[in-house]
Chain A
Amino acid sequence: MPEHDSRVEAYLAELRIRLRGLAEADVSEVIAELRSHIDESSRGDAVDAVLMRLGSPAELASLYETENLFDRAARSQSSPWLLLRTITRWATFSIAGSFVLFMLIAGYVVAASFFLAALVKPFSPDRVGLWRLANGDFSLRLGFVEGPPPQATELLGWGLIPAGFLIGAVAFWLIPRFGRWAIRHWRRVPDLPSRAERR
């Protein structure tokens, strides 16, 4: 490969721009490693073929970004927002990811409902509660207009306030831990660049 081949420089420059989510030191290391790979590979092969086998800068950057997101999200102090962002990306290429995303969203909805019920109960004691319906189902009712379900028995009464806060807090504590655990144990290599698959 001639030094400073314009195709290679353009490829690496685009990759550098697309890797903006990574730390600068990591980006420099990725670029240096790929430069070394392209340099050695193109002694026997055409530069265009070498670059095509690597996949486009967009495809390659997406793989690095995904790995980087997973690594950051799996750490114990990662924020729930980063975790949700990572698992949303995971869900785009994996059934396991979709399942974890569904569990996470469902968990947060349940946790938020209990919290909200505990908060609203003092202001609307007759309309907010955990009810056992006539058919045996449970219903956590929140609302200011509707009354309690017909022929339903309230189960916790004022106890919904501590129970709601407790269940909500435990769920908010558990859900991100489940998300990080799932990332550490279930994640797999994301989908490969389609052009590179058909080398």
Chain B
Amino acid sequence: MSTKDQAIEKWEIQLRKGSLELAILASLWSGKLYGLEILRTLADGSSLMVPEGTVYPLLARLKAEGWVDSEWVEAEAGHPRKYYSLTPSGRRHLLKMSRSWSSFAASMDRLLRPLKKEER
């Protein structure tokens, strides 16, 4: 991999890292999920490719912040699963994050419009 590609990869890692909290909270918007389901939702619904080991400590933090809650549910087969769901304050926090993200993305899109014409 060339140095330029490595630089892009490094930058993408930083970008993903910065949006991970928003992505995890957003995956819980429609209902409760357990850790592996959150990872699968993020992998299917986005190109986030989340490092698995990072998600669980981050979920523990979101719980400590009071934005998600958790409960253990017996699985039909195998070990019980720890399900996470958004708390009311977590839903409000997520809505605020989503508004900030949309406004930021719109600004970046405006800034990048001339480049897109060039790429065509």
Q: Which residues of A contact B (CB under 8 A)?
A: 26, 29-30, 32-37, 39-41, 53-55, 59-60, 63-64, 66-68, 70-71, 188-189, 192-193, 196-197, 199
Within 8 A of A (CB), among B76-99: 78-82
B21 touches A37 (CB 8 A): no
A192 touches B17 (CB 8 A): yes
Interchain nearest-CB distance for A132 vs B (Å): 47
B79 to chain A: closest residue by CB: A36
Within 8 A of A (CB), among B52-71: 52-54, 56-58, 60-61, 64
B51 touches A199 (CB 8 A): yes
7 A-B pairs with CB atoms under 8 Å apart are A35-B79, A54-B53, A63-B53, A67-B60, A71-B64, A193-B51, A196-B52
Q: How many A-B residue pairs have CB under 8 A?
A: 85
Residues in chain A near residue B61, CB distance under 8 A: 67, 70-71
- Known contacts A39-B78, A70-B61, A199-B49: A63-B36 contact under CB 8 Å: no
Residues in chain A near residue B72, CB distance under 8 A: 32
B51 partner, pick from A29, A39, A55, beta carbons under 8 A: A55
B82 touches A196 (CB 8 A): no
B60 touches A64 (CB 8 A): yes
A36 partner, pick from B17, B51, B53, B80, beta carbons under 8 A: B80
> 20 additional contacts, CB 8 Å, given A37-B35, A68-B60, A189-B17?
A33-B56, A36-B79, A37-B56, A39-B78, A39-B79, A40-B81, A41-B36, A54-B52, A54-B53, A55-B54, A60-B56, A70-B61, A188-B17, A192-B51, A193-B54, A196-B51, A196-B53, A196-B54, A197-B51, A199-B51
Residues in chain A near residue B20, CB distance under 8 A: 189
A194 to B55 alpha-carbon distance, docked (Å): 14
A71 to chain B: closest residue by CB: B64
A33 touches B82 (CB 8 A): yes
A59 to B52 alpha-carbon distance, docked (Å): 12
A188 to B57 alpha-carbon distance, docked (Å): 12
- Known contacts A37-B35, A188-B18: A53-B13 contact under CB 8 Å: no
